[in-house]
Structure 1
């Protein structure tokens, strides 16, 4: 029997309110600009920073997980992988594309995008445009009427403000559910006659409740990143996609352009709306591993990257220690182990960059998990990373 042609999925096939849910996210995470408005991150007209290749058969590496003894290839097969790449000493040693993804596909990063915003703040701080030790209201005086009054920029970088914001992904009425509406990702629940924010800036201005002292604890809240982005736009006079293009994409010699989803007022969603190709996510991880240096230039200040590795584990609560028992958070990056220099970028549905300067290793994985969070898959990905690391070091 002749093989049936692959069915072409179109925008009209995707339920408007469920584009990010299984099974639709297997397609939508690679085609989001066909669903939502977007703004380009221009790569510029300069040469692409070459990624040399030194292929190795890492797929056969075996490691132990909660599911028993498995191979890296088996892990990729069952973990809803779209793309997976390993750089060792700056060279591509392993690269796989699955689920129709190619080297040119632009994939949604979810909260991996937060680390790009953190890097931009580091650049602005080195230029004297931002002082992390100043109150955020110094740059955004409108926030004096919100719970952000009194919070330092550094508090927000570390997600340590005391502002109340619920990050319950499956609850459409939670604060992050309201962010879905404000960002243009979703529509408000049918039949709800209450006022909902019509843009991200409107939502920020509604955050009036403080639940802790600023700086007293780490509590992951997506909207903190958007506050930082509004600050960056205010001090630079540029929209976020333009700023990311000028300060990172062009300087790094990225292979492809990128794009952000935008809200009804044209604001790019800093906390999760960035879409880029797998190799460019890996380049970003390599730049971080090299203390901000890439493509023959200092892209992000070295001091900023080194300071980012110095998170305070005492602020890291029990809920986060379940998957990162020695973890911390600093400057919009996750720290795998507070005594080691590894930095990571995490996004729901399985987006991940692992950047290890000690072993000059970078791993990037793009996924379309059926669930927002999956601790078992997250821990298995980290076990795979450590198995790959051991094989490269001792092989």
Structure 2
């Protein structure tokens, strides 16, 4: 799957054949996304971080090496760009880590409603982890991926089959670990260790393990499966064309850090919830101004600059001098103008720009050895051009 070939595409579009899943079902009529296609967007380029000009958008997405599957860009709630160079329009595809945006959004909604105190330890909401190093991690530090725990997805942990990160993946996917044992996922999480001389909140380090625990916290707080909460609060509100599939671990927890699957146009509908054009898909405002403000302004610039996010190849290549100011509430990038972005494995993309009223989404099955991903740069450049900079 990580190699990005035809097998990867089959996995990415048929994940429920390989893992149990629950459905977040659409409610009511399908919301209509009007088309007002702007063919000039095919010619978008931008200056990459190395100072070179990118290929045009149309050349990039049709380059066989990139294996881009689909792209949609909306302005003012209308589809202004749509292309499916690799997948069928009706296919579902995994969001990968774009799923984390839903975890962060739901928890921010719960915070605004007074159901979550971001200053509390994460183990206050996930009692199975009490008595472990997780006790030292507040909900806010977990939301901003600054746990101080040795669980980041750096090269050392990714290549070490005995790291907590890799053991968690093995447990969640119900396969044997490096020692030939299928482990209990929550017991694995209890075995985290701290990074020497690093306090929580000081350094932002990307971690699906953190999101795993936050997803379990949602289930405890709401006393419902994550998929039901996701349906109640988000998926049922957007006039989705199809159900979203959420894959499950052996213990029944949602793989909320990466295995939500949907149509591309439904991901675009979800993105519209964060913009002034929310009325195109929803009968009532779902993402309140307070929730959006928390996500836009809840990051820690010092932790961001001290951490690993700015070293990601797609950040350096796509944004260059237009760098985000920090990560926040499970979003990988937030800019001073309030735009938010979430990236996913195999190069999934969700860009929401409330001030410009633009949404950009993309599915890919790009191989892990293909660096960098430029889609994020195209989506932000498209937002600027559509809004007259």
Q: Structure 2 length normalisation: TM-score?
A: 0.87
Q: What does residue range 71-220 of structure 1 map to in structure 2 within 5 Å?
A: 71-78=56-63, 79-99=66-86, 101-167=87-153, 168-184=157-173, 186-189=175-178, 192-193=179-180, 197-199=183-185, 201-211=186-196, 212-220=198-206
Corresponding residue for 1:52?
Answer: 34
CA change 1:50–1:210 in 2 (3 A) is same
Q: Deviations over 1:302-347 (max 9, x none)?
A: 212112112222111364224254441111112243x221101111
Corresponding residue for 1:366?
Answer: 363
CA change 1:223–1:307 in 2 (3 A) is same
The question of whether the paired residues in 1 share the 8 Å contact of 2:168 and 2:189 is answered with no
Structure number with the bigger relative contact order (C-alpha 8 A, sep ≥ 6) is 2
Q: What does residue range 352-391 of structure 1 map to in structure 2 within 5 Å?
A: 352-371=349-368, 374-377=370-373, 380-391=374-385
The question of whether the paired residues in 2 share the 8 Å contact of 1:178 and 1:196 is answered with no
CA change 1:332–1:318 in 2 (3 A) is closer
Instruction: Using the TM superposition, give the Cα deviation of residue 188 of structure 1 relative to its aligned residue in structure 2, in angstroms.
Output: 2.6
Q: Distance in 1 between matches of 2:76 and 2:37?
A: 12
Q: Deviations over 1:132-187 (max 9, x none)?
A: 12222222233221111132111111111112214143443333221221111654
Q: Distance in 2 between matches of 1:291 and 1:314?
A: 33
Q: Distance in 1 between matches of 2:241 and 2:149?
A: 38
Gaps of 5+ in 2: 317-322
Q: Deviations over 1:172-231 (max 9, x none)?
A: 333322122111165434xx25x55333x2322222445421212211111111111111
Alpha-carbon RMSD across the aligned residues, in angstroms, is: 2.4
Instruction: Using the TM superposition, give the Cα deviation of residue 250 of structure 1 relative to its aligned residue in structure 2, in angstroms.
Output: 0.6
Q: Distance in 1 between matches of 2:172 and 2:147?
A: 22
- Give the match's secondary structure for 1:243: helix
Corresponding residue for 2:337?
Answer: 340
Q: Structure 1 length normalisation: TM-score?
A: 0.85
For structure 1, which segment, 86-95 or 205-214, has the greater mean C-alpha deviation from structure 2 after superposition?
205-214
Is 2:285 the counterpart of 1:303? no
- Give the match's secondary structure for 2:134: coil
The question of whether the paired residues in 1 share the 8 Å contact of 2:247 and 2:260 is answered with yes
Q: Distance in 2 between matches of 1:111 and 1:210?
A: 24
Gaps of 5+ in 1: 1-18
Q: Distance in 2 between matches of 1:318 and 1:332?
A: 15
Indicate which of 192, 199, 217 corresponds to 1:231: 217
The question of whether the paired residues in 2 share the 8 Å contact of 1:291 and 1:306 is answered with no
CA change 1:291–1:237 in 2 (3 A) is farther
Q: What is the aligned residue count?
A: 367
CA change 1:37–1:161 in 2 (3 A) is same
The question of whether the paired residues in 1 share the 8 Å contact of 2:206 and 2:309 is answered with no
Instruction: Using the TM superposition, give the Cα deviation of residue 301 of structure 1 relative to its aligned residue in structure 2, in angstroms.
Output: 2.9
Instruction: Using the TM superposition, give the Cα deviation of residue 291 of structure 1 relative to its aligned residue in structure 2, in angstroms.
Output: 9.6
Indicate which of 3, 13, 18 corresponds to 1:30: 13
Q: Distance in 2 between matches of 1:171 and 1:58?
A: 46
The question of whether the paired residues in 2 share the 8 Å contact of 1:350 and 1:368 is answered with yes
Corresponding residue for 1:246?
Answer: 232
- Give the match's secondary structure for 1:365: strand
Q: Distance in 2 between matches of 1:170 and 1:290?
A: 43
The question of whether the paired residues in 1 share the 8 Å contact of 2:144 and 2:204 is answered with yes
